[in-house]
Structure formats: C-alpha cells, structure tokens
Structure 1
Amino acid sequence: MSAQPNQKKEYKRVSRDEVAKHNKPDDLWIIVDSYVYDLSDFIDVHPGGEAVLQQPDIAGQDATETFFGLHNVAILQRPGTQKMIVGQIEGEESEVRYPQAGELSQVPYAEPTWLLPKYKSPYYNESHRRLQREMRTLVDKYVTPEAQVREADGKRPDPKLVQMFGKLGLNAMRLGPGKHLHGRKLFADIKPEEFDYFHEMIITQELTRCGYRGFMDGFNGGMVIGLPPILNFGSDDLKKEIVEPVLAGEKFISLAITEAFAGSDVMGLKTYAKKTEDGEHYIVNGTKKWITNGHFADYFTTAVRTDEGFGVILIPRALGVETRQLHTSYSTSAGTAFVMFNNIKVPSRYLVGVDGMGIPIVLSNFNHERWVMCCGVSRGSRAVCEVLFKWMMQRKVFGKPLSNQAVVRQKLGFLFAQNEACQAYLENITYQMNNMDYKDQAKHLAGQIALMKAWMTRVSHEVADNGVQIMGGRGLTKTGLGAPIEMYNRTYKFDAILGGTEEIMADLGVRQAIRAFPKDARL
C-alpha cells in the first residue's frame, strides 16, 4: 500500500477558481479529496472514455463524490495517480482515510471485537496481539500484492514468498501447536511452548483478508492438509526426508484423497496399491481429482486401497506421477489438479503408518482441516461486509445516500449479526481445542466442528447473495468497486464442498450427538 498523497510532500496551494479555468480536454484538472489532479495527458486513456471527464460537473470541478461512486481509494494511492497531483486546494485538508499497511480498519464490524480498544476478551494475550499486528503488516506488504498478480495471471504463488514464510517459521505455525514447533524460532517472537490454536487462527484470518480465495489455496494450502499425516504417523526416516524441505518451502506437498469416484465417500475410493511379492514396493494405479496444489506438488499424501484394506502412501512426483490442471471457478493459482498414478512403483518406506489403518489416518486430519476452513470463512465473510458497508455509505441512489434505504440497512444488520456469531462460535471451539488433547477433540469436537462449518458456509451464502443484491451490476463485474463481491460470489462455495459437504457435515454433527444421547432421556 502506498502512502497518503500529502504524506510524501507539501503540495502547492491552489484556489478553486484557478482549478475551474482548467476545464478543456487538453487542459483538464479535477479535485478529489482536496487534491488537484491534472488529467490532461490521461483523458485519452481514461477507461471510462473521454466524455466522462468532460462533463461540466467534473472538468475543473470537485469530483470527489463522483469519483468515490465509481472507484475505490486504492486508485488514489497508486504511484501513477499521485504523479498527476499538481496541488491542493487552499485552506482545505484531506478528509479521506488512506489505508496503510498493518493498520486496523476503523469501519464498524470490520474487525473482530477482540481487536477493538473498548472491548475485552478472555481468549487473547499480548503474544496474540503482537502476532496479529506483525502478521497484518506482512500480509499487506507482501502477500496481498502477490495475490493480486497471481489471481490475474493464474500462475502458482511465488515459491520465494513461501520460502520467506518458511524462514520466519510461519509454515510450521500454520500446522498448529505441536512437537514440530519445538526448537524453532517463530514469527513475532512467539515461543513454541506458548503457541496455541488462537495463534494459528490469527495467521489464517490475517491471510484470508487479502480476499483472493484461489491464491490462498495455492499459497501452501496443500501443506496444511498434506503434511500433518506425515508428522503424526510417518516413520522417523520419512519425516527426516520430507518435513524440513516442505516447511522451508523447498518442496511442496498435497493431500490426494478425493476421486471422481469418491468425494465425501472416502470408503469408496478406488486407487489401489498392490504390494510386490518381495514386500519392498507398492505398485499404485488410479486417479485423484480436485487436488489442491496437485499441479505443482512434489509429494502426494495419497489414500489408497491395499490388500490389508486402506492405507496412506506418500508418493513422490519424481516416480512418474502425472498431473493435469483443472479449471474451476477460482484462480488456477491454486494448482487444482487431476492426478494420475499409472503403475507407479513406490518404495515401501513411503508407507505412512500401518498398512490397513489408512482410514483412521485420513480421518484424523479432518477436524483440523475443517476448523482452519472455518477460520477463513468467518474472516472472509466479515471482509466482504466491510466492502458493502463502505459502499452503502458512499453510494447515492435516487438523489439520496444508499444508507437511507431501510431494506439495505436490514440486509447489512443481519449480516453483521451473523458474522459476530460466527467469530464467537469459532472462538469457543478454539478455546475447547486448547483445553483438550487430540483424543478428546476427536470424541467431543468432531461433531461441533462439522456443524460449525456447515452453518458458517450457510452464512457465507447469505453474504454472497446479499452482497450482489446490494452492489448490483458491480457485484457481477471482475474489476472496479464490485470486484471483491464478484470474486467472493464466485468462490465462496468451495468451503461448502471441500473438507466435506454441508450435508455430510450436518449429518456428522447429528450422528455424533445421537451416539452421546442419554438412554434415559424422554420428552
């Protein structure tokens, strides 16, 4: 993010009468937020055409209201735009807040309450707040600019950025608390022994703020779900070979479970691993589909059928794995792929855990994966509502601010309430995770997390639907003010499908409750 225009230099003071004289196509000035812009050389390339700038209420006039009805403040922060500034209106100062890297939003409901000065929370300490501050600055300076470029060109996230995260300890921190953090220097001077799920939640939510869903899955999303089975069940030799290169960003890993034959029905997968007679190798045949990061992964943590039932095998791409990129409704920067295993000969040492115990290994990671998705869904919905609130406050319709429309206020009111409820639900579950061991989490939280995910994705549906209704045609346009809404509307459904569909999640939550239902309970 660039600095506010008047933070860089003192501009010459100009009278409004002087600006009014510059109202011709070859000599065109306008005023936006007290700054005077010379558009004489820009008019020919103006994306909206010359006629817009030549209108009598714009050429030589104060176009602040018109500008913010069509554009966002980021355009004024671009170096090219700032070069057009020739002065500032005498006796006037800027009234617009120009966002700076790392700062909190001042818009009501744009931030979770624990970040606001007048609110208290029992969940967060100084280490959480320090992490949030430093993480936001890091994301604003490095992640968001990269995400914008990759969203446009569809290429994979820059490995150098992933490697930077590795050096900062953030790749390891994205996997939650655990032994893998011991002895590491972590970002924001967090001590490994104090790192908890709230720290991880903060990292995920700050990353989510960039708003580019495809990029965020591409930005090591495969590691978050593909590496834990190796950490938790892999042999010491396997961990020694794989873990550090992946955490350093030198190698990339993905989780390969879903098939065209079996999505949420994990038991229905058909990829088969036949053990050789000498027991030294597995011969793997089959395909996987919709594999996040699969197109550029070096390793595939793969669920397979075996003679013993089910197993998990880590399969290096170098053994002959082929991938084909899939084009989904979000950016190809995610590397979503169709993966083909054709007679791949995998050394038995790449077996994860025990042959025949594949399903427990696969299921063991689902709670954390779904919880991470909830962290992102909650923050993503909130970010969209901030855009909608800003739009409502600066847009005019029928000669009046959009905020005068009661129906729009009602829509936003319900969205605000649901966002607050999502965060409160998430914080409660996160607190329980911090106070339960792995076994108790599986017993008591699997259903809770499943229900939370199902409900949050329903909330995101409401946000997406109402977002388009409030923004109108802009909410369907990939550029301009409505771009965040269009992207959200195009990509929010991923979280309702990945990691288990809403229907499967709701059913899981109820089935777990049925198992815990007391036998003596009656109406």
Structure 2
Amino acid sequence: MAATVDLKELVIGGSFLIEERHPEEVLTPEDFTEEQRMIAETTRQFVDTEVRPAIPQLEKHDWHLARTLLRKAGELGLLGANVPEEYGGLGLDQTSGTLISENVGRSASFAVTFGAQTGIGMLPILYFGTEEAKRKYLPRLVTGELVAAYALTEAGSGSDALAAKATARLSADGRHYILNGEKMWISNGGFADVFVVFAKVDGDKFSGFIVERGPGLTNGAEEHKMGIKGSSTTALILSDVKTPVENLLGEVGKGHKIAFNILNIGRFKLGASCLGGMKLMLHEAVRYANERHQFGQPISSFGAIKAKIAEMAIRTWVGEATVYRTVGLIEEAVRASAKDGEAKLRAIEEYATECSIIKVMLSEYCDYVADEMVQIYGGYGYSADYPAERAYRDSRINRIFEGTNEINRMLIPGMLIKRAMQGRLALLPAAQRLMDEVLQPSAPSFDEEEGLLAAERKLAENAKKVALMTLGTAAQKFMQALEDEQEVLMSIADQIMDAYAMESAILRARKIAAHSGEEAAARYIEMTRVFCHDAIERVEKSAKTALAAVSEGDELRTLLAALRRFTKHTPINAVAARRSIADALIKANRYID
C-alpha cells in the first residue's frame, strides 16, 4: 500500500496567500550544505569547460556531440541525481537536483537536451513505470547510454493536451499496444532512443507508453527555430508502432495524471534553469559594461546603465529566493513521503501553484535580463559574434515550454480556488474576514511599524490582501464561469506572484541579516526594498484593472477605496538604491549573489 504524506505537519500548498511565514521556516541559498555547493560547482565546471565551448558545434546539429556530452554528464552523476540508487542514480535530495538544473541553465540550448533527458523523458518511467520497465531503462538513461524524449503535443493539441488524436490499440494476442499518430515539437526527437508517448487507447482512453525507436517510428526534419538551435526538435511519426504491454505507464485512461504531474516538476526545474542563465547573462553584461568605453569612460559609470544592471540583479536575486523557497517546501514534503514514488509525486503536486508561479516568474525575469543584456551591448548585442544575441533568442522559448505562461497564469488562481472548494485550503474564511475589513475598516493607526524591513513586510501583507480581495470578488461574481474570464484570472495571478515574490525576498533578506548582521545584508535589504516598492505599484495597477472588470457602482468604489488603503506607501529613493546595488557588481566586475 502506498505511503501517504501527512501534509498537516507541513506547509499547505498555496497557504502563503493567507498565512505568515518566518525566516527560519524557509530554505534560502545561504542554507546550502557543503555537499550541495560541491554538486553545484561540479555542474558549473562541466558546463563551462565541456558544454559552452561546444555550443557552436551543437548549433550545427552535431547530435553525436550532444550524446557524448550527455554521457559525460552521466559519468558525473548529473543525469541521475534524483533517481534512486537501486536504478543507478545518486538518490540525492531535491535541492541538489535543482542546483544541477540551475547550473545547466548556463549551457544555452544544451539545457533543453539535458532537461528533456532528466525531466520529462525520464521521470514518467521513474514514477509510473512498472518495476520491470524501471530496471530496464533507468540505469541506461542515467548513464546517457540511452537518450529519452517526451511526446505529448500534436499539431491540433498544444495547451489542450487531452485533445490528442494519436491512438493505441491492444494487439490480437494481447502482448503489444499498436500506436499510430503524429507528435510535434519533440525535444531530442532527432536522436532519442526511448520516447514517452501519449495516445488514446481505443480512441478515447488517454494513456502513456514507453516506446523504443524501431520499425514504424520515424522523426521528421529538424525544425528551423528562432532559438535553442543546438537542441534537436522534430516531429515524431508513429505508424503501427508496437510496444510491449508492460511498457504502459500507470493505468489505461490515466495518462493525464502522468502528463500534468510531470509538468509540475518540469516547471520548477525550468525556473531554476532560467535562474542559471540569468546569472551568466548578468555576469557577462557587467564585464562588458566595464570594458566598453564611450565619451572617455566605461559605460558602467552611466546612470542609465547602472539602473539596468541593478534591476537585472534585483530580479535575479528575488527569483533565486523564490525558487529555493519553493524547493524547500517540496524537499520537506518529499522527505516525509519516505521512498514511495507515488507519494513523492503527490508531495510535489501539493505545491503545483508555487511551481506555476516559479515557471512564469523566472521565465519572464529571464527574458527581461536577456533583453537588457542586448541593450547594454548595444549594436554588438545584435551580433551573433557576441553572447547577448544567442541569450536573447534562447530565452524566449521558456515562456512557452511546460505550459504557456498564459495557461500557468490561469492555473494559479484556479488551483487555489479548487483547493479551497475541496477544503484543503482555508481560503474562503480568510476571504470573508478580509471582506469584513474592507466593509468596516478599523481606525487608522499612526504607530510606525518596527523591525527590519517593517514597511516592506506591511506591503507584502497588503499585496496578499489585494490578491485575495480581487480573487474573492471575482469568484463571487462569476462562480463556475470564472474559468472563462481569462483576463481577470491572469491579472489576479500577477498579484499573487508579486505577493509571493515580495514575501520570499523579505524572508531571505531578514534571514541573512539575522545570521550575518544588517551591515553584511545591506545590499540584499536594498534589493528587497526596491523590489517591494515597485511590486506594490504593479499590484495596485493590476487590481484596478481586474476590479473594474468584476464590479461597478458603489461596490467598485468601496473596493477601490480599500485598494488605495492597502497599497498606500511612501516612495523610497530607488535611484540611489539602484546605483548602490549596481556599484557593488561593477566594482567586483562579475555577478555576485
């Protein structure tokens, strides 16, 4: 019988919106063990010495080289970091696996090859394969002997994955499933040996299968892509392809469980990969800004450039805080699930909302950093002879991978409401208490908040209130039809994401200050202050748009009055703060976390 996770002893997924957390409760990069740091450094050295010099050759579609690099990654244990030792992996914790993903994010399009192998290609077998299938495939996948791919999308079914047309039927002798159909956008498609394929048994039971390359399985020509040119992307054609019945993943008709749960893992790993890319882009942008002279001085001395470097650093640092806070939640839940694979997957599913937040936030932060990198490089940023051009092209796909950002934005409030209706998240009582506060506001207090980042802590608390107020108002008006109000849902998601990021940054900065002193934490405190004051303005603007779409008249005026009260703040000198943040990186001539 499968082990269960007692989530009552853990942080409930999505509860950040209605509960306060304390610095000692969250994982931050400052908590990494020496072993975890060594794993990160091993990965970084492999990427910088073996992979990055090979990127130009990979972009010429040298798939033999891609396989060689996967084998080398396998020799270092990087492919099987989170795979149990009994199947040839290292059995490492989730944090170590995420640190590997982060540092592989430095490797341009090889990160896609690596992610398809270790994530969506391998994990369905690990979590849903039969014992026979696990022992047959996993040891050879973690060494890189076999290359894996994931075949879900079709020409007519992208975000709507369950609309797939590929079919599977049981052979007359009951020994094989016979698959027919065509899949699109298959990463590693041109040279993979093993595919996780989704098809409908008897035309209606959506199911997952392990399919080996063999008779009837062919791939189309390589796609001519905007970016990630060093990764293979092809169509996959299945014509009466046979796969043994023991290669069924999970149960017939339960393929959606595989597809959606594996995407949760993929989303937070993708966020970590984006983080690694952002750190490298910022590092190179700072170095270039110091080297490039105009008007007799380095461009890094100009305020306009400092503002860009500072904002790139802020989003990178806040993104990192948010990624590892989420990984810490997953780590605790997975640890509580012992060794049972399905229980581990349920533990990860608990934080599906947070995984979607990470995916959207980090992919968009990454795009921002890439865009500003090009701008700092100027005309050279547009040249393929300089790193900014490739970074810009490669970053764009991340907003489409693992479910588009639009889909994930709608999932964020949707999953919270679903959990509330199931009684798994006390969202409704919290919303009712908030509406009582909105309708009967208490007398204003003139007492100043005390403690480190007190004003920002109040802003984060109020950002959560705004998100909850907007979500509750929309849910009350539209009821079951809320899922059709996509613009409103996406606006609410933006508020929720900023609230989560604000709190994550505050918790990390306070934790650093508590351990190292406020002087040592000064730069982190500045980054947190700038981020929070910018974020509350975004929250206010987004909430105005959403509230005007869901209410009118006296109700709208009441809600807008509450919004003004919640988002009221005294501006800080963000110009001086950004200059100070940028100066630290410019002086070091590198990215510093």
Per the normalisation by structure 1, the TM-score is 0.70
Contact 2:111 2:273 in 1 (8 A): no
List per-residue Cα deviations over 1:281-333 (Å, max 9, x = no partner): 22211111111001101111101111361111111111320101222123543
Whichever of the two has the greater Rg, that structure is 1
1:181 to 77, 80, 85: 85
User: SS of the residue aligned with 2:246?
Assistant: helix
Name 2:173's counterpart in structure 1. Answer: 278
Q: Deviations over 1:262-296 (max 9, x none)?
A: 11211111111122343222221111111100110
Deviates more, 1:274-283 or 1:260-269: 274-283
The match for 1:6 is none
1:265 counterpart = 2:160? yes
Over 3 Å counting, the alpha-carbon distance change for 1:223 and 1:379 in structure 2 is: closer
Q: Secondary structure at the match of 2:311?
A: helix
Cα deviations across residues 145-186 of structure 1 (Å, max 9, x unaligned)?
33343235554534333223323322111xx2x5x2348585
Alpha-carbon contact 2:374-2:388 (below 8 Å) kept: yes
* 2:262 corresponds to 1:365: yes
Contact 1:162–1:220 under 8 Å retained in 2:
no
Offset at residue 440 of structure 1 (A): 5.2
SS in 1 for 2:132: helix
Corresponding residue of 1:515:
418
Bigger fraction of residues in helix: 2
The percent of aligned pairs where both chains have the same amino acid is 26
CA distance in 2, matches of 1:417, 1:353: 43
Please list, as runs of the form range in 1=range in 2, the aligned pairs for 1:15-30 lying within 5 A after superposition. none
Amino acid at match of 1:319: P
1:317 aligns with 2:213: yes
The amino acid that maps onto 1:494 is: I
C-alpha distance in structure 2 between counterparts of 1:439 and 1:127, whole Å:
25
Q: 1:492 to 1:436 in 2, by over 3 A?
A: same
2:227 corresponds to which of 313, 326, 330: 330
* Alignment partner, residue 245 of structure 1: 140
> Does 1:198 pair with 2:95?
yes
CA–CA distance in structure 1, aligned partners of residues 286 and 154 of structure 2: 41
Q: Secondary structure at the match of 2:208?
A: strand
**Is the aligned partner of 1:132 residue 2:40?**
yes
Aligned residue in 1 for 2:363? 457
Cα root mean square deviation, aligned = 2.1
Which of 405, 409, 421 is equivalent to 1:502? 405
> Are residue 159 (structure 1) and residue 67 (structure 2) matched?
yes
CA offset digits 1:330-382 (Å, max 9, x no partner): 35431111000112233322211211111112112111111110111111112
- Once the two structures are TM-superposed, the CA of residue 411 in structure 1 deviates from its matched residue by 1.6
The answer on whether the counterparts of 2:170 and 2:177 sit within 8 Å (CA) in structure 1 is: yes
2:129 aligned to 234, 241, 247, which one? 234
Looking at structure 1, the residues matched to 132 and 78 of structure 2 have their Cα atoms a distance apart, in angstroms, of 24
- Say whether 1:475 aligns with 2:381: yes
Q: How far apart are the structure 1 equivalents of 2:264 and 2:40?
A: 24
Distance 1:312 1:141 in 2: 37
Distance 1:418 1:398 in 2: 30
Distance 2:65 2:50 in 1: 12
State how 1:69-88 maps to structure 2 within 5 Å. none
Which residue of structure 2 lines up, in the alignment, with residue 217 of structure 1?
112
**Kept in 1: contact 2:61–2:231 (CA 8 A):** no
Is it true that 1:486 corresponds to 2:421 in the alignment?
no
Distance in 2, matches of 1:470 and 1:513, equals 40
Q: What residue number does 1:144 align with?
A: 52
What are the within-5 Å matches in structure 2 for residues 411-422 of structure 1? Answer: 411-422=308-319
Letter in 2 for 1:218: T
Gapped runs of 5+ residues in structure 2?
1-27, 335-343, 421-426, 436-593
Aligned match of 1:428: 325
- Alpha-carbon distance in 2 for matches of 1:511, 1:450: 11
- Aligned equivalents of 1:152, 1:492: Cα separation in 2: 19
Measure how far apart 1:235 and its partner are: 1.4
User: Given residue 400 of structure 1, which amino acid in structure 2 is its aligned partner?
Assistant: Q
- For residue 76 of structure 1, what is the aligned residue in structure 2? none
User: CA separation in 2, counterparts of 1:185 and 1:282?
Assistant: 29
Q: Which runs of 5+ in 1 are unaligned?
A: 1-119, 187-191
What is the CA–CA distance in structure 2 between the aligned matches of 1:135 and 1:390, rounded to whole Å? 23
The verdict on how the C-alpha distance between 1:122 and 1:486 changes in structure 2, with shifts beyond 3 A counting, is closer
Residue 306 of structure 1 aligns with which residue?
A: 201
* TM-score, structure 2 as length reference: 0.62
Equivalents in 1 of 2:226, 2:44: separation in Å? 27
Distance change (3 Å), C-alpha of 1:337 and 1:509: same
Code of the aligned partner of 1:404: S
CA distance in 2, matches of 1:288, 1:393: 47
Per-residue CA distance 1:100-130 (angstroms, 9 max, x = gap): xxxxxxxxxxxxxxxxxxxx95521111122
More contact order relative to length (CA 8 Å, sep ≥ 6)? 2
CA contact (8 A) 1:220 1:293 kept: no
Task: Output aligned runs, 1:42-57, within 5 Å.
Answer: none
Partner of 2:294: 397
Alignment CA distance shift 1:304-1:331 (3 Å): same
Q: Which moved more, 1:423-432 or 1:408-417?
A: 408-417
Q: Distance in 2 between matches of 1:250 and 1:183?
A: 14
1:222-268 CA distance string (max 9 Å, x none)? 34211111111111222222222222222211110111111121111
In 2: Cα distance, 1:429 partner to 1:238 partner: 31
Task: Verify: 1:255 aligned to 2:150, yes or no.
Answer: yes
